Amino acid sequence: MFRDLFSGQAGRYDRRPMIHSAETFAAREPRLDLRLSESLVRLAATARAHDLGDDWIVFGGAAMVVSGLTDWDVPDIDVLASPAAARTLIEALGGEVIEPKTAERFRSRTLARIDGTPVAVEIMVGLEVHAGEAWEPVIFHTRDLVAVAGERIPVPHIAEQAAMARRFGRAKDLVRAEALEQLIAGPVG
């Protein structure tokens, strides 16, 4: 069950259940850069300690890496969270709300940065992408739990990550989409 999740707009909720894949948690643990692993573990342990449940999800480059593209560079960890989960994570991890850059392609109601982890964490509430003439909310409908040093890291299913990267539409996002689609297709030959 998830609440007021990710749309960030008052009165606008997506109440469809997220898909939890227990097999993903049990089946594999990716080999990660130590700094990324430490940051993800700290983030997940904090979320677990505060009982944040499904109110947060890792996406972007960090989600790609924990999903299997382990050679991908991750300059920061992107997290989409409900308003309450964002407040909790920001306070617990010593983050700071920052002023977002001028919104051309993306905007969020709240943007915070946590620099006290080996890899910085950016927390967003109410993330939207400009698609055509309108702003559309970024909402993930799937959730895989991936093991990292004994913690469960929630990420969108790989197919949804690829679709979202295509929706984001920047050159680097299209490269990400192709890499994710190749991961889904499996090894060639």
Write the DSSP assignment of 108-173 as a string of letters: -SEEEEE-SSSSEEEEEES-EEEETTEEEE----EEEEEEETTEEEEE--HHHHHHHHHHH-SHHH
| Residue 63 pLDDT exceeds 50 | yes
Q: Which of these ranges, 49-53, 122-126, 170-174, has the smallest mean pLDDT?
A: 170-174
pLDDT, tens only, 90-130: 999 999 999 877 778 899 999 999 999 999 999 999 999 99
Average pLDDT, the chain: 85
Share of the chain above pLDDT 90, in %: 70
**Interval 75-84 mean pLDDT:** 97
The per-residue pLDDT for 9 is: 40
The per-residue pLDDT for 4 is: 40
**Interval 153-180 mean pLDDT:** 94
The per-residue pLDDT for 15 is: 35
The per-residue pLDDT for 100 is: 77
Q: Are the CB atoms for 106 and 129 separated by under 8 Å?
A: yes
- Specify the DSSP element, H or E, that contains 78: strand 76-81
| Residue 27 pLDDT exceeds 60 | no
Model confidence at 11, pLDDT cuts 50, 70, 90, reads: very low
